[in-house]
């Protein structure tokens, strides 16, 4: 427990009440939503869900499953309003959030508006019931908080771009508490049943992505090998995974920790984070653009790169080849690093860097290779403000080989005197040059898209589809 975490908890409560905060010299406003909204599911309602007939043929195929070493909200930032599991305390809203405790539930509360829903009058039904009717495995009560806004990263730094998730609060049996003497068979039945109920709630409320994890395997002392097997039984063996697009087991800690090793072993046949995903090899232009935008949001809230550069990833790309989902043509400026800007790891982006992001036959050849042979369906020409090459073209008369670059930029800029607009013109000129390529024109008929974008050096934001 630490005084800093207590102070962060108090500030989080104030931000939630105010609906805004200051970061990077600007005011960030939270979405206009009722953060206290809570939907309560009693044990009786959970039992009804279990007996209700559910189609197990959602998408017609098993969802993607990945196991990652990250916190729950970092994983959630990759999805569009996913449902995140809260490994909850059965008796106290937010667990030890107000006193600086540091388990998963407290971390979720520190980084978001979640606590507001847990202390609502509606949510009290769960905590009052569990306190009045104590039993060894607690109860199957669950809380759905549909309007949770995440505004801090895992280091509790305020985000430039907050995002919305749903959170489902469900306690696991506590082997160090009420469930200390509960037989293993009873614990297995209890946890499996709650997973079934939780996934049915997710399906009924339209969630397509789930962020789960090593539920009850930390402070509550459950064995990750057993818990991962309960998840596998419901998701894989019973077919409930077919209701969703992706389930991510986000397990915070070292890559070789006991919990993550257990989950990776259990889901080794299905974990797409450990093998190249076939559907990532040919992402559509729209899907690739959405992924870039989400990656830039993660970058805005991070001090370090967010992509996977692990030894395991390097070996994977060596064995299976590269399958980038987008081509980024950017300036050589040392402050403009596409992999960082878009939160990408090894093998995810095919980058072409040249001063002033100008085009010649060499760059076009590289782009055509990525589109034709690697299957990329999105090409982004990424300019930036304060570009030295554009400034040189507008205000100086360089010689040597630099002149080849500035002459090309002058063609693009024309008589534009505003430097930012000139940078945009230069980007669009390169976009047109790429589109004029005969090979690229053929690929456009197959869904390839070429767009221009501008990166702002000071705040890190990317403006897409500039005109």
Question: What confidence score (pLDDT) does residue 438 get?
Answer: 65
Question: What confidence score (pLDDT) does residue 100 get?
Answer: 92
Confidence at 89, pLDDT banded by 50, 70, 90? very high
Distances (CA, A) of 67 to 145, 213, 273, 280: 24, 8, 6, 17
Q: Looking at residues 124-133, what average pLDDT do you find?
A: 94
Q: Looking at residues 358-374, what average pLDDT do you find?
A: 92
pLDDT of 307 above 80: no
DSSP 32: S
Secondary element (H or E) of residue 290? helix 285-300
List CB contacts of 319: < 8 A, sequence separation 6 or more. none
List CB contacts of 167: < 8 A, sequence separation 6 or more. 83, 84, 85, 86, 108, 112, 114, 117, 144, 145, 148
Percent of the chain with pLDDT over 70: 93
Question: What confidence score (pLDDT) does residue 266 get?
Answer: 95
Q: List alpha helices for 157-270, DSSP H.
A: 184-204, 224-232, 258-266
What phi and psi, each to the nearest 5 degrees, are found at residue 320?
-105, 0
Task: Tell me the pLDDT tens digit for each residue of 396-421.
Answer: 999 999 999 999 999 999 999 999 99
CB 337 within 8 A of CB 300: no
Question: What confidence score (pLDDT) does residue 1 get?
Answer: 44
Neighbours of 299 (CB within 10 A): 24
Question: What confidence score (pLDDT) does residue 225 get?
Answer: 97
Q: Is 226 exposed, middle or buried (0-12, 13-18, 19+ CB in 10 A)?
A: middle
Confidence at 2, pLDDT banded by 50, 70, 90? very low
Neighbours of 267 (CB within 10 A): 22
Unique residue bearing structure tokens 């909850």: 88
Task: Tell me the pLDDT tens digit for each residue of 21-64.
Answer: 999 888 999 999 999 999 999 999 999 999 886 555 555 688 98
Percentages helix, strand, coil for the chain (3-state, rounded to 5) are: 40, 20, 40
pLDDT of 123 above 50: yes
Distances (CA, A) of 262 to 84, 140, 247: 20, 25, 16
Confidence at 326, pLDDT banded by 50, 70, 90? very high
pLDDT of 271 above 90: no
Question: What confidence score (pLDDT) does residue 19 get?
Answer: 97
Unique residue bearing structure tokens 């797409």: 272
Secondary element (H or E) of residue 429? helix 419-435
Domains of the chain: 3-274 (3.40.220.10), 280-464 (3.40.1050.10)
Give dist(CA 199, CA 244) in Å, integer.
9
**Of 2-6, 74-78, 427-431, which one has max mean pLDDT?**
427-431
Better-predicted residue by pLDDT, 443 or 151: 151
Q: Looking at residues 344-372, what average pLDDT do you find?
A: 94
């Amino acid at each position: 427990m630490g005084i800093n975490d207590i102070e962060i908890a108090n500030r989080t409560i104030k931000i939630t009440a105010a609906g805004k905060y200051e970061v990077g010299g600007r005011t960030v406003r939270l979405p206009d939503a009722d953060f206290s909204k809570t939907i309560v599911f009693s044990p009786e309602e959970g039992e009804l869900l279990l007996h209700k007939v559910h189609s197990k043929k959602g998408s017609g195929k098993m969802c993607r499953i990945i196991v990652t070493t990250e916190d729950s909200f970092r994983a959630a930032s990759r999805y569009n309003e996913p449902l995140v599991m809260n490994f909850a305390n059965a008796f106290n809203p937010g667990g030890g959030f107000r006193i600086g405790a540091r388990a998963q539930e407290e971390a979720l509360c520190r980084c978001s508006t979640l606590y507001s829903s847990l202390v609502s009058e509606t949510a009290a039904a769960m905590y009052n019931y569990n306190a009045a009717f104590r039993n060894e495995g607690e109860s199957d009560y669950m809380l759905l908080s549909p309007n949770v806004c995440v505004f801090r990263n895992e280091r509790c730094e305020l985000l430039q771009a907050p995002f919305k998730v749903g959170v489902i609060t469900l306690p696991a049996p506590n082997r160090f508490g009420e469930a200390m003497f509960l037989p293993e068979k009873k614990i297995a039945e209890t946890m499996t049943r709650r997973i079934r109920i939780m996934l049915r709630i997710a399906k009924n409320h339209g969630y397509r992505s789930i962020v789960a994890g090593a539920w009850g395997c930390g402070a509550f002392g459950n064995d990750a090998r057993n818990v991962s097997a309960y998840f596998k039984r419901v998701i894989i063996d019973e077919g409930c995974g077919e209701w969703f697009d992706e389930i991510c087991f986000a397990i915070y800690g070292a890559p070789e920790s006991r919990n993550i090793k257990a989950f990776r072993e259990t889901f080794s046949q299905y974990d797409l984070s450990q093998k190249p995903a076939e559907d990532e090899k040919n992402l559509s232009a729209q899907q690739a653009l959405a992924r870039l935008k989400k990656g830039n949001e993660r970058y805005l809230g991070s001090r370090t790169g967010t992509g996977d550069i692990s030894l395991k990833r390097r070996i994977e790309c060596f064995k299976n080849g590269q399958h980038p989902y987008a081509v980024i043509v950017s300036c050589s400026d040392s402050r403009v690093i596409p992999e960082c800007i878009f939160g990408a790891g090894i093998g995810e982006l095919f980058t072409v860097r040249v001063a002033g992001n100008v085009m010649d036959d060499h760059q076009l050849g590289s782009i055509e290779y990525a589109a034709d042979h690697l299957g990329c369906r999105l090409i982004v020409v990424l300019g930036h403000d304060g570009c030295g090459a554009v400034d040189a073209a507008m205000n100086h008369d360089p010689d040597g080989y630099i002149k080849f670059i500035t002459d090309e930029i002058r063609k693009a800029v024309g008589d534009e005197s505003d430097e930012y607009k000139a940078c945009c013109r230069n980007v669009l000129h390169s976009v047109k040059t790429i589109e004029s390529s005969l090979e690229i024109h053929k690929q456009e008929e197959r869904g390839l898209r070429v767009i221009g974008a501008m990166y702002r050096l000071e705040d890190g934001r990317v403006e897409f589809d500039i005109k």
